[in-house]
Amino acid sequence: MKITDIKCAVIASAPVIRITTDEGITGWGQIETPKPYLQPIVLQLKSWIVGQDPVNVERVMRRIRVRGGFKPWGAAVSAIEMALWDIAGKAAGVPVYRLLGGKVRDQVRTYRTLYHHEVDGGVGHTPEDYVKWAEWGKALDGGFGMFKLPTAFHSAMVRDVPDFFYGAVEPESPFPYPHKGTLTEYGFRHLVECVTAAKETLGPAYGLALDAGPGYMPNDALRFAKALEHLHLLWIEDMITGDYVPFVNSDLYRQVTPYTTTPIHTGEQIYLRQNYKQLIETQAVNVIGPDPCDVGGIAELKWIAEHADLHGIAMAPHGTANGIFGLAALIQVCATLPDNLIAFEYPARFEPFWYDITEGFEGFPVKNGLIDVPDRPGMGIELIPERAKPYLTEGDADFFD
């Protein structure tokens, strides 16, 4: 079998990859929403993979892996890898999990990041708002038993709470993440009150994780983690480095993790297993969260999970914006992971119409916080051309040709 073409179309700001072969088998992949600017990066890789045998996934990946980098620049390589596994599974007539060593669970657990703008038309950053946030989460479809709360430097709290930290507030910043600095005493106490309100409202039947950075200085990160030890949080994520930060800083996390019982988490921005090596082998954190759409693909994620398990580190793969094809990939790979898997992040940031323009999921797949692992060949999901065509961005009209 040979790869004959690769195309990339933008659907609702999400780049979708289509790899075709001379045997009529198509592989699908998807880049995080919204990253339409990566469409030309995907197409630049065409000459490196056309003519190759897609079933030899690793051989193809060795041709393009060098062309990726830390988030978002590893996304094109990662999406291609997932499309190759999709083809390999379809060619063999088996689900991808069979090719990754077989499943160890029939259902995978997923957690939900709940954004403040989703709650009752949008809520702010007071303890009362965080109570509403928790109540809204408990009522969500799917019966999620775990939630992640964006807060502190990973939210508008930086701008909305006066004197939150000793640093410059950048009102026009495209992300909250460039903000960094020492918390004021007022900001620290306010943050603890907000998180406490959310957790007490959820109660012990629900797990709560925090997405809190990057932006903390290590001393504040430790102080914050220790102040919340009694809440039994699932983890605090990316306090020091994280989303869109092009480095790891394992040594700074080691100033925090050994000194608190609150689990410390990072890793969504990291590309390739080699860049996890020090983080894992020095046990700089308790939980890692590679994203299959950024780390280099699902085989890369599985290798990292196995290596982390040897060092007593838990897995909570990232995936909030990975779309419906990313969801399919997360299900396949998480079915094969060792027992250090906590749950993966449900890709909540895609429009309901995706279920109508694809086949494979019979509507919203989450029940009691779990998803059944499908047995369909490949990733188990297909785009329906006649339904998807109306959603194509101008210039992508030949995507299905």
Tokens of 326: 């990313």
Tokens of 57: 């996934």
- Domain limits, the chain: 3-93+383-391, 99-377
pLDDT in tens, 6-25: 999 999 999 999 999 999 99
CATH class held by domain 99-377: alpha beta
**Which one, of 238, 240, 235, lies nearest residue 217 by Cα?**
240
Query: Average model confidence (pLDDT) for the chain?
Result: 97
Query: Under 8 Å CB-to-CB from 35, ≥6 apart: which residues?
Result: 13, 14, 15, 72, 75
> So what's the pLDDT on residue 175?
74
> So what's the pLDDT on residue 190?
98
Parallel, antiparallel, or unpaired for β 107-113 and 344-345? Answer: parallel
Does residue 97 contact residue 103 with C-beta atoms inside 8 Å?
A: yes
CA angle, 380 then 383 then 389, to 5°: 175
pLDDT in tens, 48-81: 999 999 999 999 999 999 999 999 999 999 999 9
Does residue 345 contact residue 317 with C-beta atoms inside 8 Å?
A: yes
Q: Do domains 3-93+383-391 and 99-377 have the same CATH topology?
A: no
pLDDT in tens, 204-260: 999 999 999 999 999 999 999 999 999 999 999 999 999 999 999 999 999 999 999
Does residue 95 contact residue 378 with C-beta atoms inside 8 Å?
A: yes
Parallel, antiparallel, or unpaired for β 287-288 and 314-315? Answer: parallel
> So what's the pLDDT on residue 394?
86
Please check the confidence at residue 274 and state whether its pLDDT lies above 90: yes
> So what's the pLDDT on residue 177?
79
**Which of the listed CATH numbers 3.90.1720.10, 3.10.580.10, 3.30.390.10, 3.90.105.10 matches domain 3-93+383-391?**
3.30.390.10
Helices (H), strands (E): how many in the chain?
Answer: 15, 16
| Number of Cβ atoms within 10 Å of the Cβ of 287 | 22
> So what's the pLDDT on residue 171?
80
Instruction: Report how far apart, in Å, the C-alpha atoms of 309 and of each of 131, 286, 303, 306 are.
Output: 35, 11, 10, 5
CA atoms of 196 and 117, how far apart (whole Å): 20
Please check the confidence at residue 173 and state whether its pLDDT lies above 80: no
Does residue 179 contact residue 173 with C-beta atoms inside 8 Å?
A: yes
> So what's the pLDDT on residue 324?
97
pLDDT in tens, 318-339: 999 999 999 999 999 999 999 9
**Which one, of 16, 112, 4, 31, lies nearest residue 384 by Cα?**
16
pLDDT in tens, 76-132: 999 999 999 999 999 999 999 999 999 999 999 999 999 999 999 899 999 999 999
Residue 252: is it exposed, middle or buried by C-beta count within 10 angstroms (0-12/13-18/19+)?
A: middle
The pLDDT confidence band at residue 44, using thresholds 50, 70 and 90, is very high
Instruction: Report how far apart, in Å, the C-alpha atoms of 12 and of each of 56, 280, 389 are.
Output: 31, 36, 12
> So what's the pLDDT on residue 311?
98
Query: One-letter amino acid identity for 128?
Result: E
The pLDDT confidence band at residue 393, using thresholds 50, 70 and 90, is confident
